[in-house]
Structure 1
Amino acid sequence: MLFLSAAKRSVTLPPTGLYLTPLYPWLVWFLWKARNLLIFEKKDVTAADSLHRAIAEAKAWQGAQEAFPPRAVLLPLPQPTYLGPPGSISCFTDAACHADDDLGGLSWIFKDDTGRIIFQSSTPQDFIPSALAAEAFAVKLALSYARAADFLRLTCFSDCQELVLLLNSDGLSNQIQGLLDDIKSLSLSFVSVAFKFIPRALNSEADLLAKSSLLSWIPPSEV
C-alpha cells in the first residue's frame, strides 16, 4: 500500500518517452503477471523483462490516445437576458386557460433593471373566449397596475408571439380588438412602453403564477 501511494506521486523520466500516462500502473501489472507465471507455471521472468514490457505497453496505449484526440467540449450557449434598458421596469405576463370552461389564470411580474422582482400577482378570470384573449387580458391588467404604481418606462414581455406582433404593428383582430384598444390607450400613460416576445421556456415564473391562479378556480375532480 505504501508503494502504491508513493507511486502515484512519481514522475516518469526520460528516455521512456511517456507523457500521457504514468509508468507505475504498467509496472504493477507486469509484476503481477510475472508472479502468476512463477507460481502457476514455474516460469521465471526477469525484472528487466518486466520493465521493458511495461514501457512497451505504456507506449502502445499512449500512441492509441494520440491517434484519437479528445473531443472538444461543447459549452452551452448563454441564454439571452430578457430585461428592459437601464431605468425601465420589465413586466412579464402570461395566461393559462381551461379547455372545458371559459376560465383563465392571469399573471404579471415586475422586475427592475437588475432582474430583482419588485412585485408579482395573479388572478383568475372568467368569460375568457380564447387563449389569445387571455394573454391580452393579462397585459391589460399588468399595464393597469403599472400605471397605478407610477412606473414611467415599461418593457412588457409575453410568450404569445401573435399578441406581440399585433401590438407592435397596430394590427387588427376581430377576436380581441377591444382589448388591443384598451392596451394602446393605457400605453399612453407612460413615458415609454415596449412590447417584446420571450420564449415560453424563459417565462416560467409568470407561467407558474398563471397556472396556480387557474387551478384555484377549477374543482380538483376536473384537473
Structure 2
Amino acid sequence: MDYLFWRLKAEDLELDQVRCYPWILWMVWKARNDKIFNGLNRPPEEILNKVSCECKAWLEATQKSDHPESNAVILVDDRNSATTGEALVIKCRTGAAWKENEDTCGLGWCLFDTSNHHIHLGLKGTRKCLSAIHAELLDLIWTMQCLIDIKAMCYTFETDCKELLSITDLPQDWPIYEAELADYASLKGKLPHFNLSYVSRASNTHADFLACSARIRGCSFSYVNAIVPL
C-alpha cells in the first residue's frame, strides 16, 4: 500500500499504468477467492487481461455518466430508456452473506449499465440477523434506499434468492418480517416502476463477492461509491 499510494507517484510512469494497480489488487483478490471457494486456478495472463478490460470499461462508464446538466447519477425507467445522463443502467443485483456461527452478516449490491459494466456499488457489514433469507430482505431494502439517496433510479432489481421473491410477493405469509416488509413497501412506493426478478448465482458474482467481503470484516460499516474498495 505504501508503494501504491506514495512511492509509485514518484516514478516516471504513464497515468494509464498507475490507474491499473487497484484493479490488479482487486482481480488478484477475486482469483484468490475463486481458488479457495471454487477450486479454480486463474492463470496470471488471464488476470492481467481481465484487469485491462475492467479498468478500461470502468473509465469509459464513469466518463459517460458525467453529465453536466444534472445532479442525478443516472435516471432510467424499466423500458431501458434514459431520461437523464448518458450511461444507461438496466439492472441492480443484490446479494447477502450470512453464516449461523458468525456475529456479522454482509450485504452487497452492484449497479450495471447496458454493457454489463458495474458503475456503482455498495457493501455493508451489519450485526447478525435472523436468517439468510432475512439478510437478503435487509439487503434489498438497503439497496433500494441507497439508489434513491444517490438518485440512481434503477427500477430493475435481480436476486439469486428465490425465497426473497416469495416474501415480497406474499408479505401476508411472512408476519415475522412485518416491519421490514413495511419498509420495503414504503421504498417501492417511491419508485415509479419496480421489478424484482431471479438471477442465477453464477450471474450474481459481483454482489455476492461484495457481501462476502463485508461479512469477513466482522464489523459494522457501510460503503457506497463508484470506486471499487481495496
TM-score (ref. length: structure 1) = 0.56
Cα distance in 2 for residues equivalent to 1:184 and 1:113 = 27
* CA deviation after TM superposition for structure 1 residue 170, in Å: 4.4
Higher relative contact order (CA closer than 8 Å, sequence separation 6+):
2
Report the secondary structure of 2:173's partner residue. coil
Conserved? CA contact 2:92–2:112, under 8 Å: yes
**1:22-66 deviation digits (Å, cap 9, x = unpaired):** xxxxxxxxxxxxxxxxxxxxxxxxxxxxxxxxxxxxxxxxxxxxx
* CA deviation after TM superposition for structure 1 residue 174, in Å: 2.5
Aligned to 1:142: 143
Report the secondary structure of 1:175's partner residue. helix
Cα distance in 1 for residues equivalent to 2:218 and 2:191 = 33
Corresponding letter in the other structure for 1:178: A
Q: 1:152 to 1:212 in 2, by over 3 A?
A: closer
Cα distance in 1 for residues equivalent to 2:178 and 2:196 = 17
Conserved? CA contact 2:109–2:207, under 8 Å: yes
Cα distance in 2 for residues equivalent to 1:95 and 1:188 = 23
* CA deviation after TM superposition for structure 1 residue 115, in Å: 1.9
**1:118-168 deviation digits (Å, cap 9, x = unpaired):** 201101110311101100011011000111122334111011101112223
Aligned to 1:86: 80
Conserved? CA contact 2:147–2:154, under 8 Å: no
Cα distance in 2 for residues equivalent to 1:148 and 1:141 = 10
Cα distance in 2 for residues equivalent to 1:106 and 1:137 = 8
* CA deviation after TM superposition for structure 1 residue 93, in Å: 0.5
Number of aligned pairs?
A: 135
Cα distance in 2 for residues equivalent to 1:99 and 1:140 = 21
Q: 1:184 to 1:136 in 2, by over 3 A?
A: same
**1:78-132 deviation digits (Å, cap 9, x = unpaired):** xxxxxx6413541110001122134210001111233221201101110311101
Which structure 1 residue ranges, 5 or more long, are not aligned? 1-83, 219-223
Q: 1:210 to 1:168 in 2, by over 3 A?
A: same
Conserved? CA contact 2:94–2:158, under 8 Å: yes
CA RMSD of aligned residues (A): 1.9
**Residues 47-58 of structure 1: pairs in structure 2 closer than 5 A:** none
Cα distance in 1 for residues equivalent to 2:187 and 2:102 = 29
Cα distance in 1 for residues equivalent to 2:106 and 2:154 = 26
Corresponding letter in the other structure for 2:136: E
Cα distance in 1 for residues equivalent to 2:170 and 2:156 = 16
Corresponding letter in the other structure for 1:131: A
Aligned to 1:186: 187
Which structure 2 residue ranges, 5 or more long, are not aligned? 1-77, 82-88, 220-230
Q: Which moved more, 1:125-134 or 1:107-116?
A: 107-116
Report % sequence identity: 24
Aligned to 2:205: 204
Report the secondary structure of 1:93's partner residue. strand
Cα distance in 2 for residues equivalent to 1:197 and 1:176 = 20
Larger Rg: 1
Cα distance in 1 for residues equivalent to 2:120 and 2:99 = 26
TM-score (ref. length: structure 2) = 0.54
Aligned to 1:116: 117
Conserved? CA contact 1:158–1:196, under 8 Å: yes
Cα distance in 2 for residues equivalent to 1:131 and 1:119 = 24
